[in-house]
Structure 1
Amino acid sequence: MVRMGPSGHDPGHPKDWVGYLSQIELPVLAQSLREINELTECSTSSIQELAEVILRDADLTSQVIRLSNTVFYNLSHRQVNTVSRAISLIGYETIKSIAISSLLIENLLGKSPRERLLKTLAKAMHAAVQARNLLTKPESKRREEVFIAALLSHIGELAFWCSRAPQTEAYDQALNRLTPVQAQDQILGIRFNLITQGLVRKWKLGSLVEEVVSGRSTDSDLVHAIRQIIGLVDAADQGWQGQKVAPYRKNLALTLDITEQDLGTKLEKNAEETAKLVRDYGLDKIIPHIPGVGMKASATNLHHYEPNPELQLAVLRDLSDLLVEKPNLNLILQTVVEGIHRALGMPRVALLTLTGTDSTYVSKLALGPQAESWRENFTISLGNDDYLSAIAKRPPNGLIDNPKDKNWRLYKRPDFDRWIGEVPAMYACLVASRRVIGIIYADGGEQYLRNLEDRFSAFCHFTQQAQLALYQIQER
């Protein structure tokens, strides 16, 4: 078990993790959420207090006013310019909900949040919208309370993924070989649900949230239904039709007393509404993790890539000229990657190079509108027995036309990207001194690639130029 860093405590007990996350990692969030949740709509003074808490933070104030003017929250479409006006027009609980959601997002997302944090936040937001829409009517006073209860049900995992503790990286790596529960037991000594329960109590996040995350049996139909929705959203990781989703859909349909077909329609509509809401919050980057709409939303803005034979010849001529001159390896590699992207029409291309460890490749260059996360998250570790490490161990190149055939299907897929290992891809290993020092990887992301064999043949021509440059540099 990895030892706790700054706090010096053994993390095997809930109070240690809860204290560390509350005092070291997220003290401002803990204080702000506690302060807001202790306010209740019982008098004019409490409304003033809520406004004062929001107005103390200039960023929060502008976010609350901006969101108060969105379709999701402002059904009257009347312009809101002040926090006080927002509370009176939209409602105390709604503004409280906006403030809590905004604080959560602002404090959790740093400059380069982990992909697993984005994925968990997407689940939390999605579950919140599904619960709000499925379990309450628009006029219900508990509408926003239900939203927040579902949103904060993931607070332990969310807080963990923004942590700088050494366990965060260790747990991340352990997920390549263990199930989440096994990794939590081995690396953390505690499971996320217990961390969530501890944070909910310490931060005083409310009785409904506390009951939802408690894990205890309940007589409350509302609590039971919220738990069902959270489980359903967790199970829908790969879409609404997965085998894991079926029992949740059946049970939830019985709870709501509607047909599974009607429930399916509502789920898809609410997922689309979640995508619109997270966009309002400025969280476009988590949309790909929302079942169904993630792929649809990205595809809407996706440029359609096709091979350009004339450009291929032009780039290959440029590469030949560069090889005749004194080879500049960086320029040649950049030209090869750009040629694969633009001339071959490969929507996503990455160049990975070996780090000083001799066992890890990191992204040096990534091109394509769907490759944003690759620049910081795309790594290949030879020590892992997963899909990407298997590629690195199979030089010199390869076409994976069916990543689900017997040669590939048993390998664990990377967490930072939903298409790697799910769609056809091609790769080339760059060799120097009998070891692989670089890897060029390309796939279509969401785009269906026609003429895959022809593209791969051209891909090999381009990557051979990079290999020739390496040979020439070695022979100097």
Structure 2
Amino acid sequence: MVPHGTHAWIERISEHELPALCSTIREIEKISKDDTSSLTRLGQAVLHDHALTTAILKVANSAGYMLHNPVTTVSRASVVLGLTRIKNICITAKMLNSLLKNRKLTPAVYERLLKLMAQSFHAGMIAKMMMRDYEEDVQEETFIAALLNRFGESAFWSMGGPVTVELDKQLRQKQAVRAEEVDFIVRQALGTTFENMSLGLASSWNMGNVLISSLEEPELRTPELRSVNLAVRLSATLANPTHSRNELEKELAEAAEITKRDTWDLLSGLEECSEATVELLRSYGAGVLTRYISHDLISPAANTEHPLAEEMSDQTLQLRILREMAFLPDEHADFNLIVQTALEGIHRGIRMRRTIVFLKSRERGCLMPRFISAPDFNQVKREFVVSLGGSANIFTHVLNSRQPVWVDNLNVPKWRAYLDSSLRQLVSSDGFFIAPIIWGKYCVGLFYADRNDPAGNACPRQLSEDDFMAFTLFAQQTNICLSVILKNTER
């Protein structure tokens, strides 16, 4: 049954659609209120989550935070950035992961969700820019309040299903653009509005006073709340390729009043906001949203031929990540960050479905999956364990030879002897790559990558020579970085 009314939708989203996100946000907010041990507890709460740890480090070291020295641990990031920033990074990273993970959304609903989330990030950065003369904690509070201002709407579209498809269809057919028109259609379909859903979730999940106040009492005229509400409107205006020049000028005049800055200074600040938003999204690994961030503030009509930015090519992404890896040793990166960065480069840059870093476990005499990017994460972690005892297999072969391997056909004679029946159940029948990870004199682990579909569907894109060359480059760059940091530790 389709829920009806605000309470019913809050219960549905909190308990059935996004229970993990609900629990995480409540826990983070609870920890942050304990002044004596909050930083320590927050660090411990996220360390087990490799993806969240990496997100914190990437965002902390991004241009948007302009740290004098890079940070390589969550503990150090917590001390340098402070509790409010770390809390917001955790919430943002978890929100992105939760809202974008539903692969069953229809193209139209998915497109609507992407545009909305891009607008939300842009709104957050605009609000932060408008409050730049205030303390950092105030800037962070306005950022997260603007970012989450339309969270109820994002949560609704992210759940997918017939109700989202039907509502999307109604909004498109009636060409609803104005807030009043959208509210009327949404209320008829859901028994509430997206704004009421956002307020209900913010209150139920304890998302912070600034956000709750901006939704509950938008008429309040404090600088923080005015900045949040105006930033949400500005991001929506800029996202509309046919926005009214008069509407933009009116909003800029209001921003000038709040910030005490002239219009041209604000235009420059908004353009910088667009660039900063793109960089922030990339830091979170949400590059898919960057195409919806508008850079054209003066003349929207001039951009009608190319309304969306081009998707970055695989080769460009590979080169950027490889270049980033080259600087990691000079930035005091540790083993985990280097390997995790390489894993992301393989996974995203080569478009592999499963990318795994295996490390030797002396106690168990096997290779254990330590870093995993895969849709079937839990199954891989639980089942994909490779014994180092007994007869030689393809994994021990690479450990001993220290050479990357591309197994393109499991049944050819040169590979058949290295793949027993148990291994064949774990690796991809469509082929896979393996490469060594070298630490000093020892081969301590392996990179593994394939395009295996857990559902058993045929591989949509076969592995190629270019893919293997890129995979090999990431493994080589990893080993170069590890050799450098090892030398640095021995000095």
Deviation at 1:43, TM superposition (A): 3.3
Secondary structure of the residue aligned to 1:80 is coil
Distance (Å, rounded) in 2 between the aligned partners of 1:67 and 1:219: 32
Distance (Å, rounded) in 2 between the aligned partners of 1:185 and 1:231: 21
Secondary structure of the residue aligned to 2:31 is coil
Contact 1:287 1:297 in 2 (8 A): no
> What do residues 76-115 of structure 1 show as CA deviations (whole Å, max 9, x unaligned)?
1x23222111111222221111111101001110254511
Deviation at 1:216, TM superposition (A): 4.2
Equivalent residue for 1:458? none
Secondary structure of the residue aligned to 2:52 is helix
Distance (Å, rounded) in 1 between the aligned partners of 2:43 and 2:57: 11
Contact 1:117 1:162 in 2 (8 A): yes
Secondary structure of the residue aligned to 2:137 is coil
Equivalent residue for 1:107? 98
Equivalent residue for 1:253? 256
Does residue 199 in structure 1 map to residue 190 in structure 2? no
1:251 to 1:281, Cα distance in 2 relative to 1, 3 A: same
Deviation at 1:62, TM superposition (A): 2.2
Moved more, 249-258 or 271-280: 249-258
Moved more, 197-206 or 83-92: 83-92
Equivalent residue for 2:168? 172
1:75 to 1:188, Cα distance in 2 relative to 1, 3 A: same
**Counterpart amino acid of residue 88 in structure 2:** S
Equivalent residue for 1:92? 83
Distance (Å, rounded) in 2 between the aligned partners of 1:137 and 1:257: 10
Flag structure 1 segments of 5+ consecutive residues without an equivalent. 5-9, 303-476
Equivalent residue for 1:217? 219
Flag structure 2 segments of 5+ consecutive residues without an equivalent. 177-181, 297-302, 314-491
Provide the aligned C-alpha RMSD in A: 2.5
Equivalent residue for 2:321? none
Moved more, 37-46 or 23-32: 37-46
Distance (Å, rounded) in 2 between the aligned partners of 1:217 and 1:285: 35
Distance (Å, rounded) in 2 between the aligned partners of 1:297 and 1:73: 27
Equivalent residue for 2:142? 146
Deviation at 1:298, TM superposition (A): 2.9
Deviation at 1:153, TM superposition (A): 0.6
Equivalent residue for 2:20? 28
Does residue 298 in structure 1 map to residue 309 in structure 2? yes
Secondary structure of the residue aligned to 1:145 is helix
Aligned counterpart in structure 1 of residue 46 of structure 2, from 50, 54, 58? 54
Distance (Å, rounded) in 2 between the aligned partners of 1:94 and 1:138: 15
Report matched runs for 1:32-431 at 5 Å: 32-40=24-32, 43-76=35-68, 78-110=69-101, 112=103, 114-137=110-133, 140-178=136-174, 179=176, 180-239=182-241, 242-292=245-295, 298=309
> What do residues 449-473 of structure 1 show as CA deviations (whole Å, max 9, x unaligned)?
xxxxxxxxxxxxxxxxxxxxxxxxx
Contact 2:130 2:227 in 1 (8 A): no
Deviation at 1:139, TM superposition (A): 5.2
Give the TM-score taking structure 1 as reference length.
Answer: 0.58
Distance (Å, rounded) in 2 between the aligned partners of 1:216 and 1:143: 18
Equivalent residue for 2:326? none
Deviation at 1:44, TM superposition (A): 4.0
1:138 to 1:70, Cα distance in 2 relative to 1, 3 A: farther
Percent identical pairs in the alignment equals: 28
Equivalent residue for 1:438? none
Give the TM-score taking structure 2 as reference length.
Answer: 0.56
Contact 2:102 2:158 in 1 (8 A): no
Contact 2:238 2:294 in 1 (8 A): yes
> What do residues 101-159 of structure 1 show as CA deviations (whole Å, max 9, x unaligned)?
10100111025451111011001100011111221348523221111111111110110
1:281 to 1:216, Cα distance in 2 relative to 1, 3 A: closer
Contact 1:275 1:290 in 2 (8 A): yes
> What do residues 286-345 of structure 1 show as CA deviations (whole Å, max 9, x unaligned)?
11211226969836969xxxxxxxxxxxxxxxxxxxxxxxxxxxxxxxxxxxxxxxxxxx
Contact 2:21 2:95 in 1 (8 A): yes
Deviation at 1:31, TM superposition (A): 0.8
